[in-house]
Amino acid sequence: MPRLHFQTAGESHGPELTGLVTGLPAGLRVDLAVIDGDLARRQHGYGRGGRMKIERDRVTITGGVRGGETLGGPVSFRIPNLDHKVWERIMGAFDNDPEAVAKRKLTSPRPGHADLAGGLKYGRRDLRDILERASARESAARVAAGAFFRLFLRELDIEIRSGVTSLGPIRVPEPEGGFSFASLDNVDETSPFRLVDRSVESEMTAAVDAAFKAGDTLGGTVLVGARGLPAGLGSHVAWDAKLDGRIAQAMLSIPAVKGMAFGTGVANAYLPGSQAHDPIAWSGERGYFRTSNRAGGLEGGITSGEDLLVTLYKKPIATLREGLASVDTETHEPHKAQYERSDVTAVPACGVIGEAMLAYVLADALFEKSGGDSMDEVRRNVAAFRAAQKAF
């Protein structure tokens, strides 16, 4: 069972998103500027839709924190949906306007979205009951929860970052040997695409503009990385203890992420073994280390001590202005998929969500190894663990 856990609740146009984070040790300093800053980064990016002009995501902590520090119990928080005021008669928990609800009823599901599959599973004739929870709006609560785990890791000198490496047909030039955590040091958080290399920024802008004009959407790839991890997190002894599997589950739960790879994992499939693995070396200063990082910081489901690198592959958003061929679920007649206000692309935001999910899994794996009810105890245990590794 994980030591750390989080849960989110709420619908895209409901009153608010809420979250509950459990397992955090007492004494973790909570910086609201970091949490709100991550929420702002998630909303940022060229190609975002009208919703981002309405929402100004800010977190309100409603329990588990006193005087800016966690108390050891569950931490609860809320993020208001400012757009709810125009949806209140449609999305209210009890008193709804039947005429307003009928106008917003979804009966022509979007290919690539959860609309139809969710409706079939839960027996909901109005597919809005599926859309509202399946919406990527939920990821705002994930990012807020993930910020707590990022703060936890930061206390232990572990940093997590992300950056865009491609968008639609435009790719960032890949350096010899592949992207590294150093590539993420180049990311300018104020830039429109959060690129690891801004040399293709104008081309990406043109691609987004063309997609918008055509009523289309674009996907892309994002590099997410962690620096400062000790070796020895995760385990090889059971399939569900392998850290790569745990990270994969978290990453593939991000809306529209349909693939991922560690390090140069995709390219490695086409190489001989002599070119796909990382030679081991040792020095008195560093202890054991690898002279390359094709594995992306994991071997046998366990961290190696190298930077952990994950590439996410995000498909284009399923909401299209013209709508793909679909079926009206009330008449069973052919009908274009209904349109919901949407982005042209949300690839830059995907990296921020990826940071949150990676922070959660890594914080849980580290806490699993260190234990501790207070941050002071966790710091002592992690320091002893690092020292033992260096002396191995």
Domains of the chain and any CATH numbers: 5-390 (3.60.150.10)
pLDDT bin (cut points 50, 70, 90) of residue 52 is low
pLDDT of residue 181: 96
- DSSP output for 192-256: SS-BS-GGGHHHHHHHHHHHHHHT----EEEEEEEESPPTT-B-SSSGGG-HHHHHHHHHHTSTT
Distance CA 277, CA 295 (A): 7
pLDDT one-digit tens code per residue, 186-244: 999 989 999 999 999 999 999 999 999 999 999 999 999 999 999 999 999 999 999 99
Contact 234, 75 (CB under 8 A): no
> Any idea which of 49-63, 183-197, 334-348 has the lowest mean pLDDT?
49-63
Residue 51 has pLDDT above 70, yes or no: no
pLDDT of residue 24: 97
